[in-house]
Amino acid sequence: MLKRLEMAGFKSFARKTVLDFSSAATAIVGPNGSGKSNAAEAFRFALGEQSMKSMRGKRSEDLIFAGSHMSSRANRAAVAIVFDNARRIFPRLDFDEVTIERAVFRDGSSEYSINGTKTRLRDIQELLASANIGQTGHHIISQGEADRILLAHPRERRAMLEDALGLKIFEFKKQEAERKLEKTEENVKQVEALRREIAPHIRFLGKQVERLERADELRKDLQNAYQMYFSIEETYLVVEKDTTLREQSKVSERLSIAEAELAVFEERTTHDTEGMKRTEAVRHAEKEVDRVTSERGQLAREIGRVEGALDAAKKRSMQVARDPYVKVSRDDLSALRDEISSQSELPEHAENAALRAALVSVRHAITVFFERFAAPTDDYLAEEENAVFTYENELKVLTEKDAKLDAALEETRGALRRAREVVFAYEETGREERHRVLALAESKAQEEASRARLEARLHQLAQEKESFDRERAEAMTLVGTPAFSYTAVSELPQEERRVQEDRLRGIDRLKIRVEEAGGAGEDVRTEYKDAVDREAFLSHELEDLAKSAAGLRSLIQDLDEELSKSFAEGLLKVNTSFGEFFSLMFGGGSAKLVLEEIVTIAEEEDEYEEDSVAMPKGKPGIEISVALPKKKVQSLMQLSGGERALTSIALIFAMSQVNPPPFLILDETDAALDEANSRRYGDMIENLAKKSQLIVITHNRETMSRAGILYGVTMGADGISKLLSVKFEEAAAVAK
């Protein structure tokens, strides 16, 4: 419901002018040029009209009171429309009164506000659309524009009809959804681009992490191998040492018993010179045995030492053989660089021969350099292999010597036995006693041999302990403490020593692979995890975007369906009304709106593009088909001025009937009507005023007679429009 129109500085309404609309139909009357149409345009202006043409101006400045020789110009034009919102025709605004205001300034800027709060034009448009006050202006029929709807392009006509049917709100929603969809699709593209960007990075990091994991596995294998090996070796070393020591103490015990007993026998024979000689021979032989035995012990230690050295040399040669790298010092590298640059320094136009010579020298320099670093490796390998060879030879010699000493020992023992036999033969000693001494001597010799063997064994065990400790130190650097989280076995496995040695060789092989596999690289893992997380985030984002795009598409489809359904229904209703109004006006005949056949001509489009009216594209436009009573006229063009006015009035009224706008402004729509038609027009006005508030600008008495309120507009010498309330009887006079 319209309540008031307030103008200030707008066109000829220089001073603040208020029009109250407390009646269903209000007529504005006045002489030509007094400013009546300006009042109608004030509505357009406040409702957000963007086309200057439809407000009869070129620039927005034309809308501001220009001044006259008696009064100065205004700086701003402002128009406010006050609506009664008690019945919430603007459902979104919880106020009983809604004021929409627009002001324009001399610099061309516009300002909009709703209830005094500044807003955007779009907010005004949406607000109006929600109350079925559209922007195509079908509810404001300007002077001489009554047949605008007849002249309009079919597509423009469709837009006007959609607007009149209140479908603009769907169109707004659709545009909004389309804008969002476009934005979403843009986002999808961006996210996809990001994903494409990080994909190779993830692949690269993934490979690195894979390598790290392989290295971890190898380290784990090595750790297990170490644990297995250590748990056995530790027990082995302890058990072996204990056993050997126990044996050793038993041997010493037995040896001292035998020696003590033998000493008794010898004591007995010392007082006998003949016997002394024989005993001397025995003692000599005994010394010989001792000497050879100790020599053999020494030899055993020597053998142990050489065995150890041989072992180490073998290991070293293995290491040398597997190392693919060569250390080259920076000095050597820069020397090579300097040499090559000096060799290749040539005058600018050097001859072929000189070039060739330079190339030869460069090649030579490189070859010499490589030989320096390639050859030493082989030499070193050869050196280590040589060492192995030497130790092996040495060991062979020592073993041979040991065999000889063994033979020598056998021999000296034989000599001792014989010397003792001589002693016994000459002595009148009992057979038994002699046997006893022989046996004693024999066992003493055996124990001595055992002692030497046990000593060598202890020495060997000490060496094995040393290499065990070395192995542990290495395990600490390669695997760390986890290598030592094992419990030594309580009982040694039933296996040959060779098996444990195989384990150690397995460990050596694993060490090489671990070294080749490389270091820990925690940061690569974190980076990889971050990248994978990011990828997951993006793909989730993409899913969300796809979902919302699908939602928007289906929303757009729904709106389209809603739109075309409501449009079809609305068209049907408008047509019924149109036909009725038409035959009422013409006393017969028929008229209807028909959908244009779609033969879209592309070139035709541009012509209407700049028009402020948003035209629905890709939908059939609307044609008007009329059949006058008793005449064979089909084309609108062939109608007379009055007939055109009647047809368009019928159509405008039909549209207003189906979906009544809150108000309708008719600026001299009745200008071309004769008396009979004026009466019919007046009837329809009365009828229409039941549903929409009417504001009619007219010179027609019949029309004036149907209005509840009459305003007279006059313009004095100052060029300013003035407003006065008049009675019907005065109206005709004011209008002149």
Residues of this chain that interact with ligand ATP (CB under 6 A) are 11-12, 30, 32-38, 62, 64-66, 143, 719
Amino acid letter, residue 241: K
Instruction: Please report how close the Cβ of residue 701 comes to ligand ATP at its closest, in angstroms.
Output: 15
Structure-derived torsion over alpha carbons of residues 248, 249, 253, 255, reported in degrees to the nearest 10: 20
Which conformational region is residue 115 in: left (phi greater than 0), alpha (psi within -120 to 50 degrees), or beta? Answer: left
Q: What is the chain's alpha carbon radius of gyration, rounded to the nearest angstrom? A: 61
The whole-angstrom separation of Cα 653 and Cα 645 is 12
The whole-angstrom separation of Cα 133 and Cα 131 is 6
Instruction: Please report how close the Cβ of residue 596 comes to ligand ATP at its closest, in angstroms.
Output: 34
Instruction: Please report how close the Cβ of residue 50 comes to ligand ATP at its closest, in angstroms.
Output: 18
Instruction: Please report how close the Cβ of residue 142 comes to ligand ATP at its closest, in angstroms.
Output: 10
Instruction: Please report how close the Cβ of residue 732 comes to ligand ATP at its closest, in angstroms.
Output: 14
Distance (Å) of CA 88 to CA 4, 58, 276, 506, 688 = 17, 37, 150, 91, 21
Instruction: Please report how close the Cβ of residue 73 comes to ligand ATP at its closest, in angstroms.
Output: 8
The whole-angstrom separation of Cα 374 and Cα 610 is 83
In terms of CB distance, is 34 or 279 closer to ligand ATP? 34
Instruction: Please report how close the Cβ of residue 56 comes to ligand ATP at its closest, in angstroms.
Output: 7
Quick one: three-class SS letters along 312-360?
HHHHHHHHHHHCCCCCCCHHHHHHHHHHHHHHCCCCCCCCHHHHHHHHH
The whole-angstrom separation of Cα 206 and Cα 678 is 88
Roughly what angle, to the nearest 10 degrees, separates helices 675-689 and 522-586?
A: 140
Which residues does 221 contact at the CB level (< 8 Å), separation at least 6? 510
In terms of CB distance, is 66 or 228 closer to ligand ATP? 66
Q: Which of 581, 580, 570, 564 is nearest to 649 (CA)?
A: 581
DSSP annotation of 629: T
Beta strands in 30-115 (DSSP E): 76-84, 97-105, 110-114
Cα 680 to the center of its chain, rounded Å:
71
In terms of CB distance, is 11 or 148 closer to ligand ATP? 11
- DSSP symbols for 442-490: HHHHHHHHHHHHHHHHHHHHHHHHHHHHHHHHHHHHHT-GGGG-----S
Instruction: Please report how close the Cβ of residue 1 comes to ligand ATP at its closest, in angstroms.
Output: 25
Instruction: Please report how close the Cβ of residue 717 comes to ligand ATP at its closest, in angstroms.
Output: 12
Which residues does 518 contact at the CB level (< 8 Å), separation at least 6? 211, 212, 215
Instruction: Please report how close the Cβ of residue 150 comes to ligand ATP at its closest, in angstroms.
Output: 21
The whole-angstrom separation of Cα 167 and Cα 563 is 7
In terms of CB distance, is 447 or 670 closer to ligand ATP? 670
φ, ψ dihedrals at 103, nearest 5°: -130, 145
Instruction: Please report how close the Cβ of residue 11 comes to ligand ATP at its closest, in angstroms.
Output: 4
What are the residues facing 593 on neighbouring strands? 624
Instruction: Please report how close the Cβ of residue 714 comes to ligand ATP at its closest, in angstroms.
Output: 9
Locus of tokens 């490589």: 370
Instruction: Please report how close the Cβ of residue 672 comes to ligand ATP at its closest, in angstroms.
Output: 14
In terms of CB distance, is 38 or 460 closer to ligand ATP? 38
CA atoms 42, 47, 52, 56: torsion sign: negative
Instruction: Please report how close the Cβ of residue 69 comes to ligand ATP at its closest, in angstroms.
Output: 12
The whole-angstrom separation of Cα 564 and Cα 428 is 148
Strand, helix or coil at 164?
Answer: helix
Which residues does 705 contact at the CB level (< 8 Å), separation at least 6? 682, 728
Locus of tokens 């990828």: 535
In terms of CB distance, is 27 or 552 closer to ligand ATP? 27
Instruction: Please report how close the Cβ of residue 54 comes to ligand ATP at its closest, in angstroms.
Output: 13
What are the residues facing 99 on neighbouring strands? 82
Which helix (H) or strand (E) element contains residue 532? helix 522-586
Q: Which of 452, 504, 506, 469 is nearest to 304 (CA)?
A: 452
Q: Which of 696, 688, 680, 686 is nearest to 661 (CA)?
A: 688
